[in-house]
Structure 1
Amino acid sequence: MNLHLDPASRVHLSAQDQQAIARTLGSLQQGFTARDAQRLTGVYSDDADWVNAFGSRKRGGPEIVAYLRGLFADANFNAGTLVADPEITLRVLNAETVTVSGHLRIRGQRLLTGGVIEERDNHSIRVLQRHADGRWLIVSEMYMDANREQSYAGHS
């Protein structure tokens, strides 16, 4: 995982908090890489909100993990391969909250209607919050794919 600290982060986190965040993000990456939803147990808070790039919405760790268990078993999803390691940027908002922005590209994911998504240019944003027991859990996560069509001439 290529993790970068956003220069806008002005709050220093303790080594213990940094390790807890790394554990959560590591479990997330390992779960997706291995297609093992069990590794995602304990990554999401009980009231987490989650939205994928296709508009599926889930609420709470158990519901999110159950959905991902099905997704990881899906041949269409598994046909996709990463083009490169994800780019991850951590921004510390305060001593209790961080955001994690991600960017990855995936080739070859198949569609239910047939055909293949040539390349997904996927962006994500996660909000992690420190809990009373010291764990940093994902409380909000949203994925989106870049739309290559333009509606504004100033788009870059």
Structure 2
Amino acid sequence: MKRLGLSFTILGLLMGCNTQKPETPIDYDKAKTLINESIESWDKAWETKDLELSLKYYADDTDWTNAFGDRVQSKTELRELLGFIFNLDFVMSGENDYGENEIIFLNDSIATVRSLNIRKNQQWPDGSQMDDRHINHLRVYKNRNGEWLIINHMISQAWPKRQPKDTVPTTD
């Protein structure tokens, strides 16, 4: 009988001992706010050519590709490329018209964000004006110690769709 009582006591102690630390549930509203603030910082940095602000929310091991196929795979390389881009007046001309960010949490530490920017009045290298550009951003964020950092950013571009020209020959 003593053994049975001792067995139940040991079993109860073992069941009461949880060696796993309970995880703090993520506050998704706060995470969305932090992510949106980082994108607003990117937008402001682009308008003011503020290199440090543009890099603030990128992880050191980020992977970044722009709409023209330029790819860098570290924050150091991104600093160099953006420094070059920010000095191209024709690229920096124009105005941005940003839409809402679509944030999807894949889990408590990974989020994807899609954003649309309609870039107006940008110039070609010869100074002539481009048509409006529809620029899509796909960012992947990772929560590292409570800080949401961009680990991947891909930028793509789509020109407005034009009506196809009539390809049927006409007879006069």
Shared fold (TM-score greater than 0.5)?
yes
Decide which structure has greater helix share. 2
User: What are the Cα deviations for residues 37-90 of structure 1, in whole angstroms up to 9, with x where unaligned?
Assistant: 1112331111111111111111111211221122122111122212x3333211
- Whether the 8 Å contact between 2:32 and 2:103 is mirrored in structure 1 is no
What is the aligned residue count? 138
Q: Provide closer, same or farther for how the CA distance between residues 88 and 17 of structure 1 changes in structure 2, counting only shifts above 3 A.
A: closer
Report the secondary structure of 1:94's partner residue.
coil
> Which protein, 1 or 2, shows the higher relative CO under an 8 Å CA cutoff with sep ≥ 6?
1
In structure 2, the CA distance between the partners of 1:105 and 1:22, relative to structure 1 (3 Å rule), is: closer
What is the TM-score with the length of structure 1 in the denominator?
0.76
Q: CA deviation at 1:118?
A: 1.4
Pairing 1:1-150 to 2, within 5 Å after superposition: 13-14=26-27, 17-82=31-96, 84-112=97-125, 115-131=128-144, 133-147=145-159, 148=161
Larger Rg: 2
Q: 1:106 to 1:47 in 2, by over 3 A?
A: same
Q: What letter matches 2:54 in structure 1?
A: L
Alignment partners' CA distance in 2, 1:98 and 1:134: 13
Runs of 4+ in structure 1 deviating by more than 4 angstroms, as ranges, are none
Query: RMSD across aligned C-alpha pairs, in angstroms?
Result: 2.4
| Unaligned ranges ≥5, structure 2 | 1-24, 165-172
Partners of 1:90 and 1:19 in 2: how far apart? 10
TM, length-normalised to structure 2? 0.69
Q: Could you tell me the percent identity over the aligned residues?
A: 25
More strand by share: 1
Whether contact under 8 Å (2:36, 2:101) holds in the other structure is: no
